Structure 1
Amino acid sequence: MRMTPTLLALSLAASPLLANAAGFDNWPTKVSFADGTELAATGNIAYDWNNFSGDIENADAVRRKEFGATLKKKGVYDAMVYYDFQSDTWLDVYLRLESKAFVGQDIGKFRFGYMKTPVGLDAVTSSRAGSFMEFAMPVQAFYAGRRTGVDWMLERPAYLLQAGLYGGKDLQGDNPGTMQAVRAVWTPVKAEANVLHLGLALSQENPRGWRDGRDVHHEATARFRARPEAGLTDLRLVDSGALVTADKVNRAGLEGIFIRGPFSVQAEALQATITREGKPDYTGNGQYVMGSWVLTGESRGYSSGSVSNVKPARDYGAVEVLARYSRLDLDDADVLGGREHNWTLGANWYLTSHFKFQANYIKADASRRGVHTKPEIFEVRAQMHF
């Protein structure tokens, strides 16, 4: 295996930061005004190298090139515009209002715009804060992505409640239809380096057909599939194919996080059922469980129902080792989408609060329509975020 010159150069360029890593965290990306309003630039750049066994082509490329801006006034509102120039995809575009500033009491936060839907704990975590380089297969397959609409969130020390209504197409012009979603999280323990999080999320999507530029009608469809937890390949070892005509898509997720000092465990079980016109219902399901140990003693961060990057406490950064098991079953009814289970070992080096290096080894095992494949993947990432 050979590390690409670009990735090697990024690694070498970051090494002088070790001499003064703590001071390097103070980046001038924000400006504050007299009334308390704050304007900030934000970004996330990740460069990946993937090495695959067998006939899958190796690859290296920019995985993420995200840039945007935030405007906020503490206790009143915050707004974000965020775009991934690598995939030409809109990310977050929203305005969020805090009720206490307008009605005199805290009845939650109301957000309007283009935002993440709540079924999928790993997916609602910021892309810059992923413990592994890619989502586990169940999250890839069943997460609905972002939608345009309105949502409400109420957070208290022992719980978090969220509900959203979404309609129309997304900002890429895809996924026409409506969706309703709810999420409830119980946090009987919520303190720094000491968290117990148990949650349930549900959504119902009502996809609709659409007409293209030639006035050809396309039936409403749904599709579940996943890459083998590597971002630089279009290969999907399991794939339900396009399922027509989709009347409803019901998603459900159970989620859990346990953090105790440098140790943490996170798990999800996800399921999605498609109600089809003239055909039996189709259900796919999957689960993952992961464990993390920060060797340098720091803890994974936690806020508002999701985790965040480890913040280094030492000049040489923080080091984390991880393991994950995931499985996905897309065989049901008349659909032979396949089954896959993966083991992943990972290591993260948080050089500063703005630089992170990741390495993952994935051993995949997939069967679909009588074909059994067992690729192995080694991947590394250099990431800068602010």
Structure 2
Amino acid sequence: MKLHRQLLTAAVAAALFVPVAHAEVAIDVIGGSEITFEGLVQADGNWFDNDRADLNGSTGKNGKDSEFELRRAELVLKGKGPGNIEWVVGYDAKADKFLDTNAKYKLGGNSNHYLQVGQYKQPNSLEELSSTKNNDFISKATVTNTYAVARRLGVGYGLGDSNWSVTASAFGRELTRDLAHGSGYGLRGTFAPINDKGNILHFGLSYADYDTDADTLRLRARPNADLATVRLVDTGDMKDSDRISTLGAEAMYVQGPFKAQAEYFNAKVKRYDHDNYTSDGYYLSGVWNVTGETWSYKGGTPGLGLPNDPGRGMWQLGARFDHIDLNDGGLRAPAMVGGAPLVDGVLGGKMDVWTVGANWYWRSNFKASLNYVMVDSKKYSSSARGFVSDKPNILEARLQFFW
């Protein structure tokens, strides 16, 4: 870990001493490849107003209702060329894992028509595919964190134009050892019937199907707080799981400084010795750029540029509602009077989450975020012999530096 800290310190120092701050640092042209260096450092703080569960109590980090942590320390080398080849090697020094590490060949020189090999984000979920440094909220939506397939090793093919795209991928494990496993495939199609500057309407559908790891699957979710050590909804281990397939639907509308976005996920798990399991969830969000900036659109995902006035910065206000339902079953009457009811199926719980927040992007490299999260969850408890509610609130803050 000491080596990781030294590497991160050297990278940040190099970025800070570049004469003019840019979104990326040009390195050199080597072997016909234009090489640039990018980075992202995020530091988070979470303050918990607990209800029933102690959201940061299972690890006993500091004995208080708060946690502070370096969330990400991403270092990325990118290359353009030779010819129609683009490549990237990314590493997170905080999580000790590889990020995007792949090569892309643009067929006919068209950036919308390509073949990709290596580790990359799989073709599903608008929020998962969007840039991490421009997240609307500190934590991704509950359903995104639960259902979306992130980076895996694979082979992908993409075809599209300015207002539509189709992507297919066959994938396996994550590049870093002992992380996500399970071979499968993913498909995503997008269509933007309106795609003008400051006026965008986007629709998308995705489907991912893959093997579960060691025939065991567990779906669970934090209360939209990345530093929480407790999950308020949790299916437990479903040990006879074979495959999971997830259907996703997405929509986004941009009108000037306003953006509305929504996604729905429905997941089905094929099981050997039990009935198949189904769960679903969705989120709805809205963001307003108070200072008047708008979003761009490319390859089926939105992009956010620099502030109109770098010295003043870009201010955003946003709100999001999340819902996830991990219940697929019910309760049967006990076998004898006074006994506990029998669980028929899987009762992983339900959770609704409201998040309100503000972001401030300053100049080209800095961002500060503040979120307030209100949670309403309910899950079956065998000890209580019934459903138990838990309604905590969380204050979240993030400082971000990127180049």
Task: State the partner residue of 1:182.
Answer: 187
Q: Which residue of 2 aligns with 1:206?
A: 211
Q: Residue type matched to 2:347 in 1?
A: L
8 Å contact from structure 2 (residues 22, 364) kept in 1? no
Measured after TM superposition, the shift of residue 72 of structure 1 is 1.2
Residue aligned with 1:118, SS = coil
Which residue does the alignment assign to 1:336?
347
Give the equivalent residue in structure 1 for 2:316: 320
CA separation of 1:262/1:27 partners in 2, compared to 1, >3 Å: closer, same or farther?
closer
Aligned partner of 1:120 in structure 2 is 125
**1:347 match:** 358
Contact map agreement 2:198 2:294 (CA 8 A) in 1? yes
What's the offset of the Cα at 1:61? Answer: 1.3
Deviates more, 1:302-311 or 1:77-86: 302-311
2:79–2:88 contact (8 Å) kept in structure 1: yes
Equivalent runs, 1:1-386 vs 2, <5 Å: 25-26=21-22, 29-33=25-29, 37-54=33-50, 55-56=54-55, 57-73=65-81, 76-101=84-109, 108-168=113-173, 170-207=175-212, 209=214, 220-314=215-309, 315-333=311-329, 334-369=345-380, 370-386=387-403
Sequence identity percentage: 30
How many residues are paired up?
A: 352
CA contact (8 A) 2:325 2:350 kept: yes
Note the aligned Cα RMSD (angstroms). Answer: 2.1
Secondary structure of 1:140's partner?
A: helix
The whole-number CA distance in structure 2 between the counterparts of 1:229 and 1:221 is: 24
1:128 deviates by 1.1
- Judged with a 3 Å threshold, the aligned counterparts in structure 2 of structure 1 residues 339 and 276 are, in CA distance, closer, same or farther, namely same
| CA positional deviation for 1:246 | 1.4
Structure 1 segments, 4+ long, off by >6 Å, are none
CA deviation after TM superposition for structure 1 residue 326, in Å: 0.5
Query: Which amino acid in 2 is paired with 1:356?
Result: K
TM-score, L = length of structure 2: 0.83
Measured against aligned partners, the alpha-carbon deviations of 1:174-215 in whole angstroms (never above 9, x if no partner) come to: 443311110000111122222111000001112353xxxxxx
Q: CA deviation at 1:310?
A: 4.4
The one-letter amino acid paired with 1:372 is S
Q: Counterpart of 1:48 in structure 2: which amino acid?
A: D
Verify the 8 A CA contact 2:270 2:277 in the aligned structure 1.
yes
Secondary structure of 1:186's counterpart equals: strand
Report the alpha carbon displacement of residue 46 of structure 1 after superposing the two structures with TM: 0.5
Unaligned runs of 5+ in 2: 1-15, 56-64, 330-344, 381-386
In the alignment, is the contact (CA less than 8 A) between 2:218 and 2:235 conserved in 1?
yes
Secondary structure of the residue that 2:183 maps to in structure 1? strand
AA aligned to 1:100 is: G
